[in-house]
Amino acid sequence: MIPLPTGLRARLVITFTLVAVTASVLVATIGYELAKAALITRAENTSLDLVTRELADISFPIGRLRPGEAAPTDKELGIVANALNGPGRGVLVEYGTLIASEGPMAMSDVPNELYGRAKQSLVTQRKVIRNQLWLIVGAEVYRDAAGKAEATGLRAFVFFPMQDDESQLATLRATLAQAGAAIVLIALVVALLSARQVLLPVRRLSAAAQALGQGRLDTRLPVHGQDELAELTARFNDAAAALELSVAELRSLEAMSRRFVADVSHELRTPLTAMTAVADVLSEEAGRLPEAPAEAVRLVLREIERLRELVEHLIEISRFDAGTATLNLEPVNVADAIVDCLVVRGWSDQVKVNASQGLTANLDPRRFDVIVANLVGNALKHGAPPVQVNARSTENGLEVKVRDHGKGIPREALPHVFDRFFKAGTGRARSQGSGLGLSIARANVHLHGGTISVRAQQPGTLFTVWLPHT
């Protein structure tokens, strides 16, 4: 099955060409039929005039003979036949049992219908005889008898060849076909040019829309004319201007929001430092306080630690949003880096590490430490032991996997675990943590040019980090 064209250009050209072909065929057909009818009418009129004139010149007595008149002879009928004859013609003159002929025709060549109609009037009929088209004119001669027309019984049938008319019609057909082909060719060229002219603004609109999609919001198009396409172009320019203004406002608000978060986070560091120092003193005295005040002190300490972690995460997030986060790459022993991360945070006895001691990679040590700490911390806080960290070298990078054996993350929450402030389940709204750890881990992975993914296990959850060789 031939596929139908789907492009607007192809459909315009095909439609235009079909209209041109249809119009050419109609004009050619009508012109040919009119010419054919005119030729046939001319041939019939000429033939009828000739037959009528020659038959009117008959001078010998025919029909009901009057006193003193003798019946016509073969010679007299031959004279009539000879008078009706001409180049290429055939003539048959019948009178009773006498038949005079000129040419190759016989009475068997006269159609029965024509023979019968010839008794009443002068008639014509076209017939193919021996692969050749003839115009047959048949007539019966009438004689004036006391003011009335009287049938004489003498009939003449003249066969006029139509080869010349057929040749003229064949030439006309060829000429019309050539003219139609020329018209279709011209129409095709005009259709291509017209389609190009019509589609040029559409292509410009498409290119401009693509440019807008790529972020070039200052894209505008010149408006030419006052037709529908010009109006569409003007509407596009208006929409692009409105979009540029809206995006500029949104970017300004986003920049202000980022700056506000960064400023607030940095301003909070000073009071947090003082609060942390006081908290250290309180933590030393908590053991000597009564139960109720001691519990209050421990609660304050936990919240201060949570607030400190949140501020640090906000500062880190603001760096990524501002585009100021950079990589300081250096060769790193992966196994030592993972162990150091766990030791500093006191997680060594809770996590099992599987990594070759000779495994090294070109990484930013601080950011790699953040990645591992956030993934392991998430597993310890929200999963269940045993927690495992596996690191290995692949053909094109470093692969690190962190798995816990808890009840796992709900399947519907898996696509959102790296979103900022997302916490799986309503019961975790006040859980320890800022809700930014996994988002920061993903940002650091992407900064390395790597990928991070999460997958449910039976039981538990598996996080996989891939960092390319650099």
What is the model's pLDDT at position 424? 66
Domain end position, chosen among 295, 325, 355: 325
Same structural domain for residues 93 and 20? no
What is the model's pLDDT at position 426? 47
Domain end position, chosen among 325, 359, 376: 325
CATH (domain of 334): 3.30.565.10
Instruction: Work out the end-to-end distance of the chain between its first and last CA atoms, rounded to an integer number of angstroms.
Output: 52
Domain range for 133 is 63-161
Q: What is the DSSP letter of 108?
A: G
Kindly state the tokens that stand for 187: 């129409």
Q: Check: CB of residue 413 under 8 Å from CB of residue 428.
A: no
Same structural domain for residues 144 and 180? no
* Sheet strand arrangement including 387-393: 351-355, 387-393, 397-403, 461-468, 451-456
The SS3 call for residue 399 is strand
The values of phi and psi at residue 16, to 5°, are -60, -45
Kindly state the tokens that stand for 163: 């080869």
CATH (domain of 276): 1.10.287.130
What is the model's pLDDT at position 159? 94
What is the model's pLDDT at position 216? 85
The SS3 call for residue 466 is strand
Q: Check: CB of residue 467 under 8 Å from CB of residue 361.
A: yes
Q: Check: CB of residue 118 under 8 Å from CB of residue 151.
A: no
User: Minimal CA–CA distance to 356: which of 332, 389, 387, 334?
Assistant: 334
Same structural domain for residues 156 and 172? no
Q: Taking CA 52 as the corner, what is the angle to CA 50 and CA 56, rounded to the nearest 5 degrees?
A: 120
Same structural domain for residues 310 and 333? no
The helix or strand, by DSSP H or E, that contains position 149, with its residue range, turns out to be strand 148-161
- Buried b / exposed e over 244-268, threshold 16 CB at 10 Å, is beeeeeeeeeeeeebeebbeebeeb
The Cβ of residue 231 has, within 10 Å, a number of other Cβ atoms equal to: 12
Q: Check: CB of residue 78 under 8 Å from CB of residue 100.
A: yes
What is the model's pLDDT at position 5? 59
List, in order, residues 6 or more apart from 320 with CB less than 8 Å away: 440, 443, 447
CATH (domain of 114): 3.30.450.20
Same structural domain for residues 182 and 107? no
Number of domains observed in the structure of the chain: 4
What is the model's pLDDT at position 264? 65
Kindly state the tokens that stand for 193: 């040019």
- Buried b / exposed e over 102-133, threshold 16 CB at 10 Å, is bbebeeebbeeebbebbeeebbbbeeebeeee
- How many residues are recorded in the chain? 470
What is the model's pLDDT at position 429? 43
Same structural domain for residues 293 and 357? no
Location of structure tokens 């180049």: 87
Same structural domain for residues 49 and 173? yes
Same structural domain for residues 204 and 244? no
Report the DSSP pairing between strands 387-393 and 360-363: unpaired
Successive 10-residue mean pLDDT values, the chain, 470 residues: 62 80 87 88 90 85 79 87 90 89 89 87 89 91 78 89 89 88 85 78 83 84 80 86 84 71 65 71 70 76 73 70 77 90 89 88 89 89 88 88 88 83 57 71 88 89 89
Same structural domain for residues 156 and 182? no
What is the model's pLDDT at position 427? 46
The values of phi and psi at residue 252, to 5°, are -65, -45
Q: Check: CB of residue 447 under 8 Å from CB of residue 436.
A: no
Same structural domain for residues 48 and 169? yes
Rounded CA Rg of the chain = 54
What is the model's pLDDT at position 267? 66
Same structural domain for residues 403 and 299? no
Same structural domain for residues 383 and 451? yes
Distance, CA of 159 to CA of 162 (rounded, Å):
9
Domain end position, chosen among 184, 211, 238: 211
